[in-house]
Amino acid sequence: MSDLLAKLYPEHMRTLRARADAALTRGGYDHLVIAAGVPRIEFLDDRPAPYVANPHFRYWLPVTKAPGSWLVHTPGAKPKLVYLQPRDYWHVVPEAPAGYWVEHFDIAIVHEARDALAHLPKALARCAIIGADNAALGDAKPNNPDAVLNYLHWQRSYKTDYELAMLRVASKLGVRAHRAAEAAFRAGKSEYDIHTAYLNAVHETENELPYGNIIALNQHAATLHYMDFNRAPPAHAESFLIDAGASFHGYGSDITRTYAAPHASEFQKLIDAVDAAQRGFVAKVKTGQSYPELHIHAHHVLAGILRDQDFIRLSPESAVETGVSSTFFPHGLGHLLGLQVHDVAGFQKDESGGTVARPPGHPYLRCTRTLEPRMVTTIEPGIYFIDLLLGELKNKPQARDVNWAKVDAFRRYGGIRIEDDVVCTEAEPENLTRDAFAAA
């Protein structure tokens, strides 16, 4: 894998340098300075929160554990990495820079955080400094200029070949762990034990994962971000929903699957229908596709499934128009993916910023862009049986068009979500998740 990354990295760097040059011109700055960041300390404690490197820092190089480091880009000059290796016996000191990427930087090693200042541009007022507020070092204080960030965020939507290679590996790692989690579910394990099986298979700690695992048995799947991990298995396992990813050099995968217990054939039938619908939505990830329109299309298809399987008696059009479909599918169809799980610029209008509004009545949609080649998005439709939302539906006129006996019988399953990571290309979409499952 390192040989492939070494081959792809130079073009990635040329692209990033060109994007940085354009961003600096737009903002009227001479230098781009990026802080890797430092951990935040928990309130009234001396314990640091888990460290996550600035995504702008990870954009340039595959270093995720070098807090206190800095990157400097000046048009026409070789990028500079100011790398902090503290004199420290309390914590593990980051290893010396090594690998396919080091030749592309002038590297200065410092042993005290404040010594990095000597390696940053002198005219700090001419610098676009990107980072969190706590990354400030003396007069080097992040200013995060909108003109620079808006341009860089927009361009981050279009992945380089190097980035796509990273995302493919993240998908393969996630799929390997998903298979281990499914096996643990089939063996009757608890949520906590399934989570542990996942970690053992992915070979990453909880803090290294791109987001917290959702491991939900039975009705827990009706809580969209369920992360409680019951230590004891349920008396009767009916269903299993897992939403979990993996990280590779700062890039993440985001994968969801839902499984039925062997005896739950009625629930398996619904899973199969959602799975078929999800494949259809993936097939529409093509150049020029409006993501909000695809989201609304998903509502119509899922409402058709609910009608065909006798959960509701409304037409799909009526179910969407009256909001009934949102009772069963209350979140968005997906989001952009890359250095962050919910990657930046999902609502951005253009390179200068602005916002493309969500469709009325769909407050949780996380992407309103029109899809273009090299954009990576998730496609994650779902059908859920959420007590809170069903209770609200019972008080609406449309309640008479709901088969409450069947809906109530499915509450014990919680719900279904199926999620793939998909690359928009010039032709057919590339499904990173399904390809990884097929290879496994």
- pLDDT tens, position by position, for the chain (440 residues)? 889 999 999 999 999 999 999 999 999 999 999 999 999 999 999 999 999 999 999 999 999 999 999 999 999 999 999 999 999 999 999 999 999 999 999 999 999 999 999 999 999 999 999 999 999 999 999 999 999 999 999 999 999 999 999 999 999 999 999 999 999 999 999 999 999 999 999 999 999 999 999 999 999 999 999 999 999 999 999 999 999 999 999 999 999 999 999 999 999 999 999 999 999 999 999 999 999 999 999 999 999 999 999 999 999 999 999 999 999 999 999 999 999 999 999 999 999 999 999 999 999 999 999 999 999 999 999 999 999 999 999 999 999 999 999 999 999 999 999 999 999 999 999 999 999 999 99
- Cβ neighbours of residue 362 closer than 8 Å, sequence gap 6 or more: 292, 295, 296, 326, 332
Q: How far apart are CA 420 and CA 284, in angstroms?
A: 13
pLDDT of residue 148: 98
Q: Do domains 2-156 and 161-439 have the same CATH topology?
A: no
Of 301, 290, 305, 299, which Cα lies nearest the Cα of 323? 299
pLDDT of residue 18: 98
Q: How far apart are CA 23 and CA 127, in angstroms?
A: 12
Report the CATH superfamily, name and number, of domain 2-156. Creatinase/prolidase N-terminal domain (3.40.350.10)
What is the token pair recorded at 94?
Answer: 């980051």
pLDDT of residue 425: 97
Which residue has tokens 């300390």? 41
Q: How far apart are CA 154 and CA 145, in angstroms?
A: 14
Q: What's 289's DSSP letter?
A: -
Q: How far apart are CA 115 and CA 72, in angstroms?
A: 15
Q: How far apart are CA 143 and CA 237, in angstroms?
A: 52
Which residue has tokens 């009234």? 44
Q: How far apart are CA 356 and CA 151, in angstroms?
A: 16
Q: How far apart are CA 376 and CA 306, in angstroms?
A: 29
Run of H or E including 130: strand 127-130
- Cβ neighbours of residue 31 closer than 8 Å, sequence gap 6 or more: 24, 72, 73, 74, 121, 123, 126, 127, 128
Query: Is 161-439 a domain of CATH 3.40.50.300?
Result: no
Q: What's 344's DSSP letter?
A: T
Answer yes or no: pTM beyond 0.75.
Answer: yes
Q: Where are the domains of the chain?
A: 2-156, 161-439
